[in-house]
Amino acid sequence: LMVTMSTVGYGDIACVTALGRGFQVLFLLVGLALFAGSIPEIIDIVKTFPKYNGTYLSDRGRRHIVVCGHITYESVSHFLKDFLHEDREDVDVEVVFLHRAEPDLEFEGLLKRQHTRVKYFQGSLMNAMDLERAKVHEADACLVLANKYCPDPDAEDAANIMRVISMKNYCEESRIIIQLMQYHNKAYLLNIPSWDWKQGDDVICLAELKLGFIAQSCLAPGFSTMMANLFAMRSFITSPDMAAWQNDYLQGTGCEMYTETLSPSFSGMTFSQASELCFVKLKLLLLAIEVKPIDGGDTKISINPQSSKMPANTVGFFIAQSAEEVKRAWFFCKGCHDDVKDENQIKKCKCKNLAKFRTGVRAIQLVGRAMANSKTNCPQQNMVNSAMPIPIVKKNMMSKEENGAKNMMNGRVKVPNNTVDDTYGGYHLSYEVKKLMPTNKSTAQQKPSKLEVGIADDQAKDFDFAKTEMKYDSTGMFHWTPARSIEDCILDRNQAAMTVLNGHVVVCLFADPDSPLIGLRNLVMPLRASNFHYHELKHVVIVGAVDYIRREWKTLQNLPKISVLNGSPLSRADLRAVNVNLCDMCVILSAKVPSNDDPTLADKEAILASLNIKAMTFDDTIGVLNQSSNAPDAMSPLGSPIVLHRKGSVYGSNVPMITELVNDSNVQFLDQDDDDDPDTELYLTQPFACGTAFAVSVLDSLMSTTYFNQNALTLIRSLITGGATPELEIILAEGAGLRGGYSTPDTLSHRDRCRVGQISLSDGPLATFGEGRKYQDLFVASLRNYGMLCIGLYRLRDAALTTVDATSKRYVITNPPFDFGLLPTDQVYVLLPFERKQSRFSFSETEV
């Protein structure tokens, strides 16, 4: 009818009178007006069907992960840049984002560019229907990103923990990796019944790792840069147009961590022998191995272990440039490759024994995977079998379930029912922790004891409690002291000036009385690890507002050698009072909440403090203070005093310093003499390469690292935190702080672990290697004579200098080539064993 009346259709019927034609014109105009008025209504109806409201359809055989939490263009672009790095071409994983809001135009452009590997769905993590749409129950893992720049970190953590609870409630077997801002919020994850780190669940605490990295830089300046570059996927291109120091640094940034099973030729070797063989013959740096306890518990990662023979099927952790290089450890055969000089020729041989070994390993892997699949629908069942070396950012050799299956195949002995189980997650618990755990004994079996209620009776016969002094915490991992009041540790300016402070750590802290807690315990605890002797501990002096530090003090009161100066980090008088020119490291931190008006100003106090110290001058009349103690343990095996008192700096630019930044772009303001472009990535800037700047953004890569290998975070945390364990986290989750423990053979054995150190080539027995020797000579001699594992160099940027001058900046070289030439001014990053003893050979006597 409409077509006919408007005469725009068929044309075979038309009005011939003037009245009819006039009516048709009016009808046409009115009809078009009515139709135009309904167009917005039609558009609204179309809009009611969201663009991102579909359901994820997975390709058969293709894995996917679900990413949620803080989803913005910036956070997603940084995550995808690392997760979809070109070095991961063999990883076929689709990324599914689930978020409440629609993406903006910039975000949509990113999604379109990556549409083959990235999907976006609009929905809430708290809605089971939305979780169903994203196929969370089929996902290989669920990753929860945190907003690192949020004004309220505790609220951000609470929201992300609620997302975890929702996903675990929907599917208990889901593997979840979550970022948390604050360390104390980790305790709430333990309250989730289905949270299980054995299934791959893990938490990346940004405050813990950030302050841990900075703490290790207090012991070995620049170490934070080295570690940050190791777990991030980086591609480097050297150029003759670049400065020599930049080429050396960039070559180190191309190194990553990898895991690989060692060939049977390594069986029966000590770690030192295997590490030397890998470095000299295979041109690989073996950093750590997986150790399987005799009692069949969970495997543990042991870094540079001493005097223990390696069994067959040992998994090693390597630092190398590529996955292809690490295959040499899997292919190496002593019979076939013993005379091979070119490491590139070490490839798969046809040796019968080696082929039989590889077949056995693959069979064990397949049996373990089959048993794991029959038990649970855990996302780990989708892991690819890896007889290939995989970066730490790739899948581990075998999952926890497979290790368990291997132990069963090897005949694990079951614990009799009448034996008291004193383990939790494979960790032996001390009596302090047992007090927090439920007992397995019935009331009828319990006997009266003279001990107070709560102290485990199996510990009663081992101690004389009245005479034993508590020096370490109950886990034996950290030095401990009875709680002290903060008033006892506060110094005024005059008291600080009268105190002889040298070789200490100065913490310049900017905070308001109501600023969010940053967790200073995570900065101090690595400096109080029990693998240091007490006299080796560096005194920590915190300069800042005492009202804020008082709120943090509950977590610091049991850690020794801490002082507080109630002052301002911008006050030169306060800085002189704490002898900042004599400190081993000055750490600049800020707990203040970034302003929403201009987030780039979040680092203003830290930058001002850094420039203020560099502009200061000091009186050079103190000189060098040497330790006068003649005690045997006061000397290191290298022949120099353990407590090294260096000469005071004349200029503030000489003071060792590390500044924490919130925004990466602000790194350009730290060094006025650098020529870095403002758009340069953080890891390429001069302050980061020199180890004088650190930003929390470098920890973003840990999400990808942990997903591809759940042991990666364990290894990094062991190196960074000084020895934090699940047992310790159970204790800290109680909220009562560190508990003192009695020194038993079991807890004292925990001191026997390696630590990070820095050795100078300017003097002592190592000085012979600074005179034109090669890095391989130093590596082998250090390992043979002292058990020290060299992992990198800290070199003066100006190689023309022949004397150690702190005014000259240094840069980090990670795992230098074997033929890399050494200089007298170099400093070496080493992993030191706890009790390092010098053998009868000196460095000069060792032939390499």
Q: Output 1-10 pairs: Cβ under 8 A, ≥24 positions apart.
A: 2/31, 6/31
Which of residues 398 and 55 earns the better pLDDT score?
55
The β-bridge relationship of strands 505-510 and 585-590 is parallel
Close Cβ partners of 369 (under 8 Å, ≥ 6 residues apart): 381, 383, 385, 399, 401, 402
pLDDT of residue 179: 93
Contact 314, 262 (CB under 8 A): yes
Q: What is the DSSP letter of 653?
A: G
The alpha carbon torsion through 768, 773, 776, 778 (nearest 10 deg) reads: 10
pLDDT of residue 356: 56
For 146-160, what is each residue's pLDDT tens digit? 998 888 889 999 999
User: What pLDDT score does 377 carry?
Assistant: 44
pLDDT given for residue 406 in this prediction: 38
In this structure, of 69-73, 454-458, 573-577, the range with the lowest mean pLDDT score is 454-458
The 3-state DSSP class for residue 145 equals strand
Percent of the chain with pLDDT strictly greater than 90 = 27
pLDDT category, 453, cuts 50, 70, 90? very low
For range 735-744, the mean pLDDT: 79
pLDDT-derived band at 438, boundaries 50, 70, 90 = very low
Q: Which of 670-684, 769-783, 829-843 has the highest mean pLDDT?
A: 769-783
User: DSSP strand E in 412-519: where?
Assistant: 423-424, 427-428, 472-473, 490-491, 505-510
Per-residue pLDDT, averaged over 811-830, amounts to 91
Average pLDDT, the chain: 77
The reported pLDDT for the residue numbered 625 is: 41
Q: For residue 670, give Cα distances in angstroms to 13, 63, 366, 658, 693.
A: 84, 44, 53, 10, 8
Residue pLDDT, tens place only, 329-385 = 888 888 787 777 777 777 777 775 555 555 555 555 555 555 544 444 444 333 333
- pLDDT tens per residue across span 515-567: 888 989 999 999 999 988 888 899 999 999 999 999 999 989 999 999 999 99
List CB contacts of 521: < 8 A, sequence separation 6 or more: 183, 552, 555, 556, 559
Is the pLDDT at 643 greater than 50? The verdict is no
Q: How confident is residue 10, by pLDDT bands cut at 50, 70 and 90?
A: low
Residue with tokens 């070490």: 346
pLDDT score recorded for residue 296: 66
Phi, psi at residue 798, to the nearest 5°?
Answer: -95, 100
- Express each pLDDT in 295-307 by its tens digit: 666 778 888 888 7
Asked whether the predicted pLDDT for residue 249 surpasses 50, the reply is yes
Kindly give the residue spans of alpha helices, DSSP state H, lying in 59-152: 73-83, 105-113, 128-133
For residue 210, pLDDT beyond 90: yes
**Residue 239 tokens, joined:** 């150029």
CA distances from 655 to 295, 503, 650, 675, 796 (A): 50, 12, 9, 21, 15
Q: What dihedral do alpha carbons 8, 9, 13, 17 form, nearest 10°?
A: -10
Asked if residue 550 lies in contact with residue 486, where contact means CB atoms within 8 angstroms, the answer is yes
Burial (CB count <10 Å: 0-12, 13-18, 19+), residue 383: buried
- Condensed to tens digits (0 to 9), the pLDDT of residues 215-246 reads 999 999 999 999 988 888 777 677 777 888 88
Instruction: Compute how many other C-beta atoms are within 10 angstroms of the C-beta atom of residue 79.
Output: 20
User: How far does CA 174 lie from the centroid of its chain?
Assistant: 23
Structure confidence at residue 3 (pLDDT): 57
pLDDT at 461 over 70: no
Which tops the pLDDT comparison, 322 or 560? 560
Q: Tokens representing 844?
A: 């000069």
